[in-house]
Structure 1
Amino acid sequence: MGAVVDVVVPAVGESVSEGAIGRWFYKDGDIVEKDKPLFELDSDKASMEVTASESGKLKILATAGETVKIGATVAKIDVSEKISNGNGAGKSKKTASSPQAIDPKAPKVETLSATPEASLNQEKWEDTEIRRFTPSQRKAIRHGEMKPNASTAGLVDDEKLSRSPMSSLRRTIAQRLLHSQQSTATLTTFNEIDMSQLLSVRNELKDEFQKKFEIKLGFMSFFSAAVVAAIKDYPLVNSHIDGSDIVAPSHINLGIAVSTDRGLVVPVIRRAESLSYAQLENAIAGLADKARNGKLSIPEMQGGTFTLTNGGVFGSLLSTPILNPPQSGILGMHKTEHRPMAIQKKDGTWSVEVRPMMYVALSYDHRLIDGATSVGFLIRVKDYIENVTKELVMA
């Protein structure tokens, strides 16, 4: 018998103790190639591809969706069986699938009535049929107030229910969102920004900027720079609570929320206070690309002190962003929409003009940040955006 190599779950971060097998790129019994992706590991931080350490025949021990500990053996590779005839990896005999195991403890059917007299129809219903009725309809049926037939179902006749397990990343997102709501005194303050100056500067400089720095000039660099300027005036927004202490970081590490097909991730731009517009754009573009391709490392998502999220890319006009603990602040950007605004002229008279306007929202931990600080911070962001100059952008 040839040598057999264990495939183990690699360490993905100091705080990560387990993960879930997202998917296998090969089937059990396939011939795999060294250094080719073997399976996808979903941790509570991100997803990563684990490659084969050797070539050979694969024996899978942990199925897709299974939660596994760091260091656990999830497969074995028989290195004595290599790719021999040039047919490539993944050529193995197909075997008939075994019948699906049935859990004897799982309920097979559910009776809609608690007693023989309680319902007008005493037939038993499959679980999938029971779910067709709303809770109020089930109660009415149990009390004999409604006959359980297809026409009374809460769902239309041909509608089916499907269930699928949440990914490890989605479960973590859900847990953290709930933890954020339960562990902070979150409050949101709003303002609106006239985007005329930003749009004018961006349109005038976009070609020159791209030619000089080899990167497109987007919106996020403007708002990142505005947040940095506001934090310098209101440093408490960049701090957080740890027990009975207030922790004030020495640098501004901006988290940029990025939507991916697996869920929302927040990579971090470190020491944003020292970066130019071009450096901010490069950092944002690089991290966003990694996020969407599932290539972010754990360190790239740790250590954020403040977060920016842009719901405007999806058309959101207004929202209340949720804090990313332990951070105490998050700025929500939204869709730019032309609206009639009352504009005061230099001579003191007023006129109505159509301006490109954006609502912005600052959610903050009210345990640490008072209303005056939060409002002052958001006004500072507004003032920066409405008065941004070409010199600032090209510096």
Structure 2
Amino acid sequence: MAEVILMPKLGFNMNEGKLVKWYKQEGETIEKGEKIFSVETDKTNIDIEATGDGIVRKLFIEEGETLPVTLPIAIVSTAEENINEILSGAMAQLGREMPEASSALEKEDSRRIKITPRARRAAAENNLGIEGLNITGTGFDGGICEKDILEYLASNKVKVTPTARAMAKSKGVNLDEIQGSGINGRIMKADVEASINLENEPREAVVRSASEGKFTSDGKEILEELPYEGVRKIIGDRLSQSKFTAPHLYFTQKVNLEKLLETRKEVNTVQEHKTSVTDFITKAVVKALVKFPELNSSLIDGKSIVRYKTVNIGIAVASPTGLIVPNIKSSENMSVLALSKASAPLFKKAREGKLAVSEYTGGTFTVSNLGMFGIENFTAIINPPEVGILAVSATKDEALVVTHADGSKTVEIKPMMNIQLTVDHRLIDGLLAAQFVTDIKNSLENPISLLV
């Protein structure tokens, strides 16, 4: 039976998805469990597997396209199955018109070129007009595949420099109409420029120099230009919404880590799995969240405050696509050692970009530790819908006034660390936040309390 593949909703805040890659093309067979496509979420790319066997009969969107969640993106069925009705319904959902002839649903009209999305993109990238191509397709039902386009290019290759090709594409210039001035007729950048009436175009913010460089109109040389899209844009949009929707309030404490470092050293001598300072900090935060459940909560849709008994502690990690926050589920009853063992595989998967959606969603509070990079102080933005985040800075030897039992005071050098709590002031008052961050400080300065 035919299956309509939908753009999946993979997160609480996910309203649309960007299709990153098709692993299968129209006409190709697929088996249950095989990867069919990859979709971009707000934190990483997720590979989606087929739920049954069949043939990919229709792909509705191309790689790089964005579509609202739950809309159809593909149809998988047997080769013999009539998908007219299903295809019609899917096209209606997408707001697209059906081909005029009903027979085109199963077999394209002879006047229409059958071509896969990947092949169409390859042709567009090389400025090939689809209608004018004389290519025999080797794909499903005679359709043109990407390899057909590549073979055509190899046998009819227009000699052109990469810069000239990029400029021709951006300006809509047909390379077939340009006579190259380079060696063996190679098309150069100057040849493309000569075919463009620059005088009739408005001056751009970015102009090119004669030496192939890129400069702004006021003379700054450009290293590279990147589109603001994908994961970086999603993260930016979410953090902007958090910063300008939730009134952020900040509370900073200095922590003396002398006892904690000594305790950690002693603990690690008697156990095979070594714990880190971050593990102790995580335990201190979890302990404080149990004591102050107001910080272990969410504001849902601006209408209700949900406080959680379960503590899903998130720890920010740098990944290939940006900062991601894997979270340790049900951490409220875990020891320092258990937290360390639970976090290690999550950190590894995060750095490799292999986290599952369930491993970085559902958090109730976040810890962001930049101490390993030598950062002495920083301010973190709340990860919605949470109501707080703790920023942890580097440990640094500093002069500290120490008061002794007899009342005397001395100045001593101690390993000191800054921690800064950010809270959503809509839900958390100053007094509660101060008590929370002070509780964390007290736990870290008396680490034996974290081991009992």
**What is the TM-score when the length of structure 1 is the normalising length?**
0.73
Unaligned runs of 5+ in 2: 81-137, 140-144, 158-164, 173-195, 209-213
Residue in structure 2 matched with residue 237 of structure 1 by the alignment:
295
Note closer, same or farther for the CA distance 1:200–1:7 as it changes in structure 2 (3 Å cut): farther
- Using the alignment, how far apart are the partners of 2:40 and 2:304 within structure 1? 34
What whole-Å deviation, never above 9, does each CA across 1:320-360 have from its counterpart, x for those lacking one? 11111222111111111112222222222222222111100
Residue in structure 2 matched with residue 66 of structure 1 by the alignment:
65
Residue in structure 2 matched with residue 49 of structure 1 by the alignment:
47
The yes-or-no answer on 1:380 pairing with 2:439 is: yes
The yes-or-no answer on 1:220 pairing with 2:220 is: no
Q: RMSD of the TM alignment (CA)? A: 3.9
- Using the alignment, how far apart are the partners of 2:438 and 2:78 within structure 1? 64
Following TM superposition, by how much is the alpha carbon of 1:386 offset from its aligned partner in structure 2, in angstroms?
A: 0.7
Following TM superposition, by how much is the alpha carbon of 1:179 offset from its aligned partner in structure 2, in angstroms?
A: 0.8
Q: What letter is aligned with 2:435?
A: G
Residue 370 of structure 2 is aligned with which of 284, 307, 311?
Answer: 311
- Using the alignment, how far apart are the partners of 1:7 and 1:273 within structure 2? 41
Following TM superposition, by how much is the alpha carbon of 1:190 offset from its aligned partner in structure 2, in angstroms?
A: 0.5
- Using the alignment, how far apart are the partners of 1:380 and 1:341 within structure 2? 20
Contact 1:62 1:75 (8 Å CA) reproduced: no
Contact 1:54 1:79 (8 Å CA) reproduced: no
Contact 2:316 2:367 (8 Å CA) reproduced: yes
> What does 1:121-200 align with in structure 2 at a 5 Å threshold?
125=203, 128-129=206-207, 132-133=215-216, 153=219, 155-156=220-221, 159-167=222-230, 169-200=231-262
Note closer, same or farther for the CA distance 1:28–1:92 as it changes in structure 2 (3 Å cut): farther
Q: What letter is aligned with 1:164?
A: P
Contact 1:32 1:58 (8 Å CA) reproduced: no
What whole-Å deviation, never above 9, does each CA across 1:188-213 have from its counterpart, x for those lacking one? 11011111111111111214222xxx
Q: SS in structure 2 opposite 1:335? A: strand
Contact 2:371 2:392 (8 Å CA) reproduced: yes
- Using the alignment, how far apart are the partners of 2:201 and 2:10 within structure 1? 54
- Using the alignment, how far apart are the partners of 1:91 and 1:160 within structure 2? 32
Note closer, same or farther for the CA distance 1:23–1:339 as it changes in structure 2 (3 Å cut): farther
Length, aligned pairs only:
345
Residue 13 of structure 1 is aligned with which of 10, 15, 30?
Answer: 10
- Using the alignment, how far apart are the partners of 1:192 and 1:269 within structure 2? 26
The yes-or-no answer on 1:347 pairing with 2:406 is: yes
Q: What letter is aligned with 1:233?
A: K
- Using the alignment, how far apart are the partners of 2:197 and 2:408 within structure 1? 75
Q: What letter is aligned with 1:65?
A: G
- Using the alignment, how far apart are the partners of 1:291 and 1:216 within structure 2? 20
Q: What letter is aligned with 1:178?
A: S
- Using the alignment, how far apart are the partners of 2:201 and 2:55 within structure 1? 55
The yes-or-no answer on 1:95 pairing with 2:151 is: yes
Contact 2:298 2:386 (8 Å CA) reproduced: yes
Indicate the structure with greater helix content.
2
Q: SS in structure 2 opposite 1:224? A: helix
- Which stretch shifts more, 302-311 or 356-365? 302-311
Residue in structure 1 matched with residue 338 of structure 2 by the alignment:
279
Note closer, same or farther for the CA distance 1:68–1:339 as it changes in structure 2 (3 Å cut): same
Residue in structure 1 matched with residue 311 of structure 2 by the alignment:
252
Q: What letter is aligned with 1:306?
A: F
- Using the alignment, how far apart are the partners of 1:132 and 1:28 within structure 2? 43
Q: SS in structure 2 opposite 1:303? A: coil
- Using the alignment, how far apart are the partners of 2:253 and 2:66 within structure 1? 44
Contact 1:12 1:298 (8 Å CA) reproduced: no
- Using the alignment, how far apart are the partners of 2:345 and 2:20 within structure 1? 24
Residue in structure 1 matched with residue 387 of structure 2 by the alignment:
328
- Using the alignment, how far apart are the partners of 2:64 and 2:390 within structure 1? 35
- Using the alignment, how far apart are the partners of 1:75 and 1:293 within structure 2? 31
Contact 1:184 1:367 (8 Å CA) reproduced: yes
- Using the alignment, how far apart are the partners of 1:176 and 1:162 within structure 2? 23
- Using the alignment, how far apart are the partners of 1:175 and 1:6 within structure 2? 34
> What does 1:254-273 align with in structure 2 at a 5 Å threshold?
254-273=313-332
- Using the alignment, how far apart are the partners of 1:202 and 1:75 within structure 2? 56
Unaligned runs of 5+ in 1: 83-89, 112-121, 138-152
Contact 2:4 2:74 (8 Å CA) reproduced: yes
Following TM superposition, by how much is the alpha carbon of 1:296 offset from its aligned partner in structure 2, in angstroms?
A: 2.6
- Using the alignment, how far apart are the partners of 1:28 and 1:95 within structure 2? 19
Residue in structure 2 matched with residue 300 of structure 1 by the alignment:
359
- Using the alignment, how far apart are the partners of 1:258 and 1:162 within structure 2? 26
Q: SS in structure 1 opposite 2:383? A: coil
Note closer, same or farther for the CA distance 1:229–1:366 as it changes in structure 2 (3 Å cut): same
Residue in structure 2 matched with residue 22 of structure 1 by the alignment:
20
Contact 1:25 1:38 (8 Å CA) reproduced: yes
Note closer, same or farther for the CA distance 1:331–1:6 as it changes in structure 2 (3 Å cut): same
Structure having greater relative contact order (Cα 8 Å, sep ≥ 6): 1
- Using the alignment, how far apart are the partners of 1:28 and 1:261 within structure 2? 31
- Using the alignment, how far apart are the partners of 1:27 and 1:341 within structure 2? 66
- Using the alignment, how far apart are the partners of 1:241 and 1:7 within structure 2? 35
Following TM superposition, by how much is the alpha carbon of 1:58 offset from its aligned partner in structure 2, in angstroms?
A: 11
- Using the alignment, how far apart are the partners of 2:443 and 2:197 within structure 1? 63
Contact 1:48 1:294 (8 Å CA) reproduced: no
What whole-Å deviation, never above 9, does each CA across 1:300-320 have from its counterpart, x for those lacking one? 333322111112132221111
- Using the alignment, how far apart are the partners of 2:437 and 2:198 within structure 1? 55
